[in-house]
Amino acid sequence: MEVAAVRTHRHAAPLLRPFVTAARRTEAVEYLAIEVELRAGVIGQGTAADTKPVTGEDLASITAAVTGPITAALTGARGTIAELSALLARSVDGASSARAAVDVALHDAWGKAAGRPLVELLGGAVHTRIESDMTVSLEEPDVMAQHAREAAAEGYRVLKIKLGRDVDEDRRRLDAVLDAVPGARLRLDANQGWSVQQAIEIIGAFEADGLPVDLVEQPVAAADLEGMAQVRRAVSTPIMADESVWTAADARRIAELGAADMLNIKLAKTGGIPEAMAIADVARDAGLTCMVGAMMEPSITIAGAAHVALAHPAITMVDLDSPDWLTTRHPSGGYKVQEGWLALTGGPGLGMELLRPDQDPPR
């Protein structure tokens, strides 16, 4: 593969309703689309959304990283996909969202050049599917109950419930959701919102009452791995690390400390597909399982994440519902979700049409 050019264009899409967590509130997704054109004429694409509350990157810094050092490093570069991804990783410090978007574009181009779906080149099969969840963001209990009903009506059996703002109110939120959809399975995400003791008490109360909780994600501060290990030892509900795991080295540390049963892999944190697959390798070797998740990101990013999710045996869950929150969804192709089940639609690379600059133009 030889990179001929790297190009960018900006986009924005309002959300159907605000997305609220213990850490932030989002009402629109602004994102940068990246095209990587190979010398042979093949064009791969990726996207990077404003993820400042998590990665520290906004559209200005993402654009600067892509159009500056990343473009300088890749333009004219030639090598295997592994070599080009490694060159990309060395091109700029930090900027994980920016690097991930360009890396997805490189992998999309790789698949298109080979005439094969990316998932197959990563070791998986295109004709598989995986159950996804729908997120119920952090609102008043009655609002969360209504959103849970709507998700269940669309066929979702697994709901990801955002908690972590107030312990007493969190329980009322959860009770309202269960009253609305008593047959749902729940994944709870505190987004670092509880102390160690609060996490132990509230999860213990959920267990004592027999609530259908599959897992609790990032109950305590990301840096407090010993505290998260303490929570894990005190409860029987599986604990998932999210903000605590960005790299394979982080995954190894979590495994060594016994801080989590599961890892949430997000491309915007890992900086690209190779590191995401490396985290999954660590999890497999340590006997942990993985989810592939995302922040509030558009469908090209989600398609790349879906290919990764279906390519590794340690990845058993996905949380990739963010395009369903957008008022518009471009481009077409890549994957589909029916009654909560995500499946790829086939085609080389990501299997998507090219996103045009006039689709979701910035406002």
Q: Which residue has the tokens 């305590």?
A: 220
Rounded Cα–Cα distance for residues 156 and 186 (Å): 11
Rounded Cα–Cα distance for residues 127 and 185 (Å): 26
Rounded Cα–Cα distance for residues 132 and 359 (Å): 27
Rounded Cα–Cα distance for residues 70 and 85 (Å): 11
- Phi then psi for residue 285, to 5 deg, are -70, -25
The residue from 52, 112, 160, 266 that is catalytic is 266
The residue from 52, 112, 160, 162 that is catalytic is 162
Q: Which residue has the tokens 């309202």?
A: 176
266 tagged catalytic: yes
189 is in an annotated binding site: yes
- Phi then psi for residue 72, to 5 deg, are -60, -40
Nearest to 48 by CA among 294, 308, 361: 294
269 tagged catalytic: no
Strand stretches in 129-174, DSSP E: 129-131, 134-136, 158-162
Nearest to 18 by CA among 325, 361, 360: 325
Helix H or strand E segment including 317: strand 315-319
Rounded Cα–Cα distance for residues 31 and 100 (Å): 13
242 is in an annotated binding site: yes
214 is in an annotated binding site: no
> Which segments are annotated as binding site?
189, 217, 242
Catalytic positions, written as ranges: 162, 266
> Which segments are annotated as binding site for Mg(2+)?
189, 217, 242
